[in-house]
Amino acid sequence: MKFSHFFAPARTGLLCLSLLTSYAGAQSPTAAPAAAATPVSVSVARLDSVWVQPEREAPATVLARNVSRLSAESSGTLQRWTADVGAKVQRGQVLAQIDPRDAELGVQRAQSALDASQARLDLAQAQLKRSEELVAQGFYSQEALLQRQTELNLMRSELQNQRAQLATAQRQLSKTTLRAPFTGTVQERLAQTGEAVAPGTVLYVLIETGPTEVQAQIDPSDARSLQQATRIWLQTSRGDEALRLLRLSSTINTPARTQTARLTLVNGANPAGTTGTLRWQDPQAHIPSAYIVKRKDQLGVFVQQGTGSDAKARFVPLPGAQEGRPSPAPKALGGNTALIVQGQLALQDQAPIAVR
């Protein structure tokens, strides 16, 4: 009983302290709400009023359709040549003549063999005719007649073989004369009078005149824009010349990592060997790099979402964008999209904005 009486005053004091604390809390004022974020002042513009269609470029060269290294097809001594460097030649024109005497003798031998075969064939035909008459009169056997027919067939085969031999010899004779395979200009003359040549010896380098093509090595990332471009031109010291894309290689060249493009000159004014710059206008709309910002390791732009006091900035990522370069505008953004063009550096996604 004494123990209980000793702790009674302490219990009474704790109860009073608790009541006082509760009363003080009930009488304290309510905490003030957090202050609203201040809208960021920005300027906006329609996307179609600021986007650009950048020009692409690549080094290019005008090439002839054919640059042929004309070689000797027959062995012998070069008797003469008829065209020098820079000369214009017509298709079929004689460029060089190799001594034809050995080939001419081959033609004569083949012609003599053919004449002999023709004579033997005529004799075999006459003998067969006489044998047929004798068989009809009963003075000749059927077996002997069959032998005559066989001899005649052999003579005919021999005659065909001799005709082929003559055609071969005549072809060898024609190879002693080097002719231009197309109309063109002589780029190099390696033929020298009196020089012994063999099959494969290069005598001329001939460039075809007429329609030319432009070749350029382009970056694979520019391939699609070149294929879709409606305006392509070649820029040279002589001026600009309109081009039309012919074909684009599907393989990538190593180690340059480029693709080969072939184009044709619309007017064909530039000669082969001309160098210049291939240019074309990218048909896809691009957002200028000045409006592109980086958020969370991703490049993109801010657009206005909502109006008035509900206006906010929405971050739109640009996949594949590169810093300092215009980026293709996403298809989801129409031309009337309100693009934030000033104040975007201070923005975060869904931040309130005040359009000035």
pLDDT at residue 240 is higher than 50: yes
pLDDT at residue 127 is higher than 60: yes
At 79, the amino acid letter reads Q
pLDDT tens profile 129-169: 888 888 888 787 888 888 889 999 999 999 999 999 999 99
Q: How far apart are CA 274 and CA 237, in angstroms?
A: 9
pLDDT tens profile 9-45: 444 443 333 433 444 444 444 444 445 679 999 999 9
Q: 100-175 domain in CATH 1.10.287?
A: yes
pLDDT of residue 183: 95
pLDDT of residue 76: 96
CATH code: domain 56-65+210-281 is: 2.40.30.170
pLDDT of residue 40: 94
- With tokens 């950048």, the residue in question is 54
Q: How far apart are CA 259 and CA 253, in angstroms?
A: 6
pLDDT of residue 60: 96
- Tell me which of 111 and 1 has the higher pLDDT: 111
- List of E strands, 238-297: 239-248, 259-265, 275-281, 286-287, 293-295
Is 127 buried (19+), middle (13-18) or exposed (0-12) by CB count in 10 A? Answer: middle
pLDDT of residue 221: 86
Closest CA to 185 of 271, 110, 266, 298: 271
pLDDT tens profile 32-82: 444 567 999 999 999 999 999 889 999 999 999 899 999 999 999 999 999
Q: 315: part of which helix (H) or strand (E)?
A: strand 312-317
pLDDT at residue 320 is higher than 50: yes
| Dihedral of alpha carbons 136, 141, 142, 146, sign | negative
Kindly state the tokens that stand for 300. Answer: 């993109």
Q: 57: part of which helix (H) or strand (E)?
A: strand 55-64
pLDDT at residue 189 is higher than 90: yes
Q: What is the mean pLDDT of the chain?
A: 88
Q: How far apart are CA 94 and CA 89, in angstroms?
A: 9
pLDDT tens profile 275-298: 999 999 988 899 999 999 999 999
The tally of CA atoms less than 13 A away on the side-chain side of residue 119 is: 6
